[in-house]
Amino acid sequence: MPSQVIVNADDFGLSAHTNAVILRAFQAGLISSATIMANMPAFAPACVLAHQPALRGRIGLHFNLTYGRPLSQAILAEPRFCTPHGEFDLRLKRRALRLSPRERGAVQEELRAQWQHCLDHGVLPSHLDSHQHVHNIWPIGDLVARFAREQSVPVRLARNLGHNIGPLKRAFKTLLNLRLRQLSGATADYVCTPADLKAGLAPATGVLEVVAHPSALGGRDFGDAYLDSGESLQALIEQRLQAVERISYAAMPDVV
């Protein structure tokens, strides 16, 4: 069993329904952390909810480059990231090994804008991760980790548990995670999905982050986007991680 686990719900602020499910999951003790999307329609209500006792200090930034409209201007002129209609491009190429200086500047500006939007709404993010794992793209991850270091917060590692991670992908993830750690300091040791937990891949030691997308099932139960329809995330967490202390990124050691 890992020594501690962070159960993080992504996509806080995406919609009123998502906000309600995440709030309930916090109140039920199922999740211990969440990350907020600063450019989504339900962002402002999510910031209000973030001040409730169960959520306070446990909300990070879910940096978004693939959905909705950006909060900054420079990135609108970058076709790698935005469509001519002024929206993020869902087809962002995942294998980019470099960005031009102008693209780097635009990504940095958008990251700062999303972070500042949280601050302007009274939420100081506890950590950083990204929508659709865009910080697993090496040059974007480099920018995100440097920014996390500047803000003295952790950044999520690339998922490093899973039967579907082949040798080449594992080698890339290992190198990327070494870089993210080098730049940003303290973070969880392992990252997995509920499906990886179901497959029995919880580590024997260290701090584990479970990346969750909880959904409402009947009664007080919760499902998850990574699980089969009707399958209980709550039962899975209780079965696999029953005796493991649940923490948030705010409880991690200070980033050095």
Place of tokens 């780097």: 104
Q: What is the distance between the alpha carbons of residues 64 and 12, in angstroms, rounded to a whole number?
A: 12
Q: Helices (H) and strands (E) in the chain — how many of each?
A: 7, 9
Q: Are the C-beta atoms of residues 13 and 46 closer than 8 Å to each other? A: yes
Q: Which two tokens stand for residue 48?
A: 């209000």
Q: What is the distance between the alpha carbons of residues 39 and 229, in angstroms, rounded to a whole number?
A: 29
Q: What is the distance between the alpha carbons of residues 195 and 156, in angstroms, rounded to a whole number?
A: 18
Q: What is the distance between the alpha carbons of residues 127 and 151, in angstroms, rounded to a whole number?
A: 9
Residue 254: predicted pLDDT: 63
Q: Which two tokens stand for residue 252?
A: 């991690």
Q: How far is CA 7 from CA 22, 109, 142, in A?
A: 11, 29, 24
Q: Which two tokens stand for residue 74?
A: 């420079």
Rg (alpha carbons) of the chain, rounded to whole number:
17
Q: What is the distance between the alpha carbons of residues 52 and 254, in angstroms, rounded to a whole number?
A: 24
Q: Which two tokens stand for residue 227?
A: 């699980």
- Judge: domain 4-251, CATH 3.40.50.1820: no
Determine the residue type at 106. Answer: A
Place of tokens 């960005």: 99
Count other Cβ atoms within 10 Å, centred on residue 40: 22
Torsion-angle region of 86 (φ positive above 0: left; ψ -120 to 50: alpha; else: beta) = left
Q: How far is CA 61 from CA 70, 102, 157, 200, 237, in A?
A: 14, 23, 14, 29, 24
9-68 tens-digit pLDDT: 999 999 999 999 999 999 999 999 999 999 999 999 999 999 999 999 999 999 999 999
In the chain, where the domains are located: 4-251
- DSSP reduced 3-state for 25: helix
Residue 145: how many CA atoms within 13 Å on its side-chain side?
24
- Along the chain (256 residues), what's the average pLDDT of each consecutive run of 10 residues? 94 98 96 98 98 96 97 96 94 79 97 98 98 95 96 96 94 96 91 96 94 91 94 94 92 66
What residue spans of 43-191 are helical by DSSP H?
43-49, 101-120, 138-151, 167-184
